[in-house]
Amino acid sequence: MERVRFAPSPTGHLHIGGARTALFNYLYAKRTGGKFIVRIEDTDLNRSTTESEKVIIDSLKWFGINWDEGIEVGGPDEPYRSTERNFIYEPYVKKLIDEGKAYYCYCSEEEIEKERQESLSKGETYKYSGKCRNLTEEERKKLEEKGIKPVVRFRVPDNEPIIIDDAVRGRVEFNTNDIGDFIIVKSDGIPVYNFAVVVDDHLMKITTVIRGEEHLSNTPRQILIYKALGFDIPKFAHVSLILGKDRTKMSKRHGSTWVEQYEQAGYLPEALINFLALLGWSPEGDEEIFTLEELCEKFSLERVAKNPAVFDIDKLNHINGIYIRKSPIERIVDLSIPHLIKAGYITEEFAKDNRQYVTLLVSTFREKISHISEIVNHAAVLFGDEVKIENEEAAEVLKQEHVVSLLDELYAIVNEAEKLDNEFIQNMFKELKNRTGAKGKALFMPVRVALTGQVHGAELVNIIELLGKDNVLKRIEYTKKNLL
RNA sequence: GGUCCUAUGGUCUAGUGGUUAGGACGCCGCCCUCUCACGGCGGUAACAGGGGUUCGAAUCCCCUUAGGACUACCA
């Protein structure tokens, strides 16, 4: 059975690229009937925080992909946080040292840094000198007595090819000559990520490692560890990076890079999933809109592209718009309410007491939005007492001769109304047409502009209903007084 | 600098030796319509360059160029 995992380090938010990696892992597990595991790789004590871990897990949950084993849900390989697994790593480190495959190194960071700078200035690739490779017991004791806390380095063999048969990249070859003896345990006694992953993946019986391409260069080091420990080497699948508009690795500079931010902007998780699935993977036919379940059936590593992908917000918007229009209106209403409240257009109580009104508002504008927060821009037209003429075109509309009488008649009709509902408004336009002779554009546009100041907008009948009798009357008065 | 990865329209991609190079986003036009949006229809636009291999290359090989990742007691 296939077993895959997503192993984020809790040093920030869930990056959009991380979300895609998690998704691919999830889809692969579902497709193959395997298990998906989530484990927290918090070996970096300086950068890892519990807040970050929470944020990442919350984002993962919102994203809608659940895991079979791992953090929070538990499983046969607890604990799922590497800082709590230190006792597990220790014997493996000891084994490597005992077998001479790893050794203690007492070089100070300053020393190493100096060496690095030197080789860099000479234009050479830096590799650890191997100074501490063959320290005698005697020498070690002396250094220990000085109170130096050593790191543990892996003894990298000479001139050995390392071949990765990558599921997406094909055969990739490295040579150990390009790798210096690297650190596997830091001086604080915590193993480094490269070591912890290997032990964790082995113990958790991970069969396929699907992760970002940035890990490809580290894979030979990990393979060395697998071999030294006598572990089976899993399959690897390195997925290309997601790039920003300028074709560099997507980062804060490129706008929203965390899934949290997309949640806040009002993107739907299914839409983000659909979009991210298409970023680097392609289905067989021409269809592009898929539910999670459909993706689970269709996904395969063979169809994952090798080339990096630029994150295209326009396409995300398009897909999200489709999902917004497809969703039950109630859901979109629920999602819209916080944005409308935040904009100050409604209160929580109002939303509770006037569900019908808010539903009409949302269904009036949802055709026009690509993410929920945009509804605020469109709803703006309903609030405030003044009518602001948006442009010359709108001003022109009001200059037409028949506008004054049209607005007078409109006022009269509305004034007599008890309540402006859809049916009444429909009839109102018929009556207006009868009384003034204006029809089509000449009928609707002046009303639209007089009431909203805009020449474009959503369904006028709905706008009028949403405005309500009092506001309509107020706005007609305002327009007649100030804009004619 | 070194190692590695990548290269089809502006963007995401299909394509695995013979296709009018297909789809999607965007953009443009038309239809629908009071308008915008939605929707429908149509259009614009690509094989980075140079060498090979082959009867025949987007497809296989090499070089160049361009981009990217890694090169930490980060992941």
pTM, to two decimals = 0.95
Is the predicted pLDDT of residue A399 greater than 90, yes or no?
Answer: no
CATH number, domain A327-383: 1.10.8.70
Closest to A425 (Cα-Cα) out of A456, A448, A455, A457 = A448
Nucleotide of closest approach to A180 (CA, C1'): B71
Nucleotide of closest approach to A18 (CA, C1'): B75
- The phi and psi torsions of A384 (rounded to 5 degrees) equal 95, 155
The pLDDT of residue A46: 93
Give whole-number Cα distances, A63 to A34, A282, A317, A339, A416, in Å: 20, 20, 17, 20, 51
In this predicted model, what pLDDT tens digit does every residue of A166-201 receive, in sequence order?
A: 999 999 999 999 999 999 999 999 999 999 999 999
In this predicted model, what pLDDT tens digit does every residue of A244-279 receive, in sequence order?
A: 888 888 877 777 899 999 999 999 999 999 999 999
Question: Side chain identity at A434, as an amino acid letter?
Answer: N
Nucleotide of closest approach to A306 (CA, C1'): B6
Residue A397's pLDDT band (cuts 50, 70, 90) = confident
CATH number, domain A86-239: 3.40.50.620
- Comparing every residue's Cα with the C1' atom of nucleotide B6, the nearest one is A307
Residue A484's pLDDT band (cuts 50, 70, 90) = confident
**Rounded percentage of chain A residues whose pLDDT exceeds 70:** 100
CA A121 to chain centroid: 40
Q: What is the helix (H) or strand (E) element at residue A216, kind and residue range?
A: none
The pLDDT of residue A449: 95
Chain B positions with a protein C-beta closer than 7 Å: 1-8, 10-15, 22-26, 34-39, 67-75
CATH number, domain A392-482: 1.10.10.350
Question: Would you please indicate which residues of A are annotated as catalytic (active-site) residues?
Answer: 252
Q: What is the ipTM of this complex?
A: 0.96
Domain ranges of chain A: 86-239, 327-383, 392-482
Residue A120, classified by CB atoms within 10 Å of its CB into exposed (0-12), middle (13-18) or buried (19+), is exposed
The pLDDT of residue A113: 86
Residue A25, classified by CB atoms within 10 Å of its CB into exposed (0-12), middle (13-18) or buried (19+), is buried
As a rounded value in angstroms, the CA-to-C1' distance for A441 and B44 is: 32
The pLDDT of residue A341: 98
Max intra-chain CA distance, chain A: 109
The pLDDT of residue A384: 87
Q: What is the helix (H) or strand (E) element at residue A437, kind and residue range?
A: none
Nucleotide of closest approach to A175 (CA, C1'): B3
Is the predicted pLDDT of residue A387 greater than 90, yes or no?
Answer: no
In this predicted model, what pLDDT tens digit does every residue of A408-460 receive, in sequence order?
A: 999 999 998 888 999 999 999 999 998 888 889 999 999 999 999 999 999 99
Residues of A comprising the binding site? 252
Q: What span, in angstroms and rounded, lies between the C-alpha atoms of A111 and A117? A: 10
For residues A276-287, average pLDDT:
95
For residues A299-324, average pLDDT:
96
Residues of A comprising the binding site for ATP? 252
As a rounded value in angstroms, the CA-to-C1' distance for A12 and B2 is: 31
As a rounded value in angstroms, the CA-to-C1' distance for A178 and B2 is: 8
The pLDDT of residue A117: 83
As a rounded value in angstroms, the CA-to-C1' distance for A71 and B71 is: 32
The pLDDT of residue A50: 96
